[in-house]
Amino acid sequence: MVYITIDNMFGGEGKLPPKITTKEYTAIELRIIRRLIDSLLAEYEKAWKPVHEIKFDFLRQETSFQFARITDNEEMVLHCSFVVTINGRKGNVDLCIPFWVLEPIKSLLFSQMQAFQPDEDTSWGDNLRTEVQSAQVQLVAVLAKKEGTLGEVLSFNVGDLLPIELQDPISVMVDGLPMIKGAYGVRNGRYAVKISEIEHPIEFSNRPVERGVMSPSFRKRTEAAAASDNFLLD
């Protein structure tokens, strides 16, 4: 930031990259730096005036960051980073204020935050709700599951029958998440699932899964469905 400012003030075109050195600044450079700092702090005081009137005083300046210690290593600071553009070239200004400096006006700052309540944008929420409701999802009704070893899978042949245990109620996955429980059956000549429960996926997963439990009515429905389509259940 210092190099860009001095380069532009003395007619530089900004073609050369900034030189990062630890040399001592000349008297002219120090004067320009001081004028730049005074201008920045004056604008910062104006920004704070609606909240609390503050005043900065110049104490000293350091060429190396390691000597510019304003707090202990364990203390927290308020860090504000600004980007200043001069003739198309950007320079960074970092302002650090110890938290203990803001301690006397902490209650005032918190009261300003509590008083600020942004207006709720109902139109945005309505539009989002409409778009979400029209989103396409995939529903998969899991009739049965079976676990096996890799060796068993490799030994399968065409025509083999897999013994399975039907689930009642059936879990319906919505885009891979379990949300619905229902009963399997047939309606108007097509397989169907009658919804009995709808729950949040987390609550759904926490419930114990009933395996191998088949009510008489469920068995009757599945046998009728199997007979109508000529497929086997073993």
Report domain extents, the chain.
2-110, 136-146+162-229
Least confident of 14-28, 47-61, 85-99, 199-213: 199-213
DSSP string, 20-34: ---PPPPHHHHHHHH
| 126 pLDDT above the threshold of 80 | yes
Can you give the pLDDT at residue 124?
80
- 155-196 tens-digit pLDDT: 888 988 888 877 778 888 888 888 888 888 888 888 888 888
**pLDDT above 60: residue 1:** yes
The domains spanning 2-110 and 136-146+162-229 adopt the same CATH topology: no
- Angle between the N-to-C axes of helices 2-9 and 27-48, in degrees from 0 to 180, rounded to the nearest 10: 110
Residues 124-137: what's their mean pLDDT? 84
Average pLDDT over residues 9-38: 77
| Residue 74: band (very low, low, confident or very high) from pLDDT cuts 50, 70, 90 | confident
Q: What is the pLDDT of residue 118?
A: 59
CATH of domain 2-110: 3.40.1550.10
136-146+162-229 CATH fold: Surface presentation of antigens (SPOA) (2.30.330)
Residues 34-42 have a mean pLDDT of 87
pTM beyond 0.95: the answer is: no
End-to-end CA distance of the chain: 79
pLDDT for res 224: 53
Helix, strand, coil tally for the chain in percent (to 5): 35, 25, 40
Biggest distance spanned by C-alpha atoms of the chain: 100
Contacts of 126 (CB under 8 A, 6+ apart): none
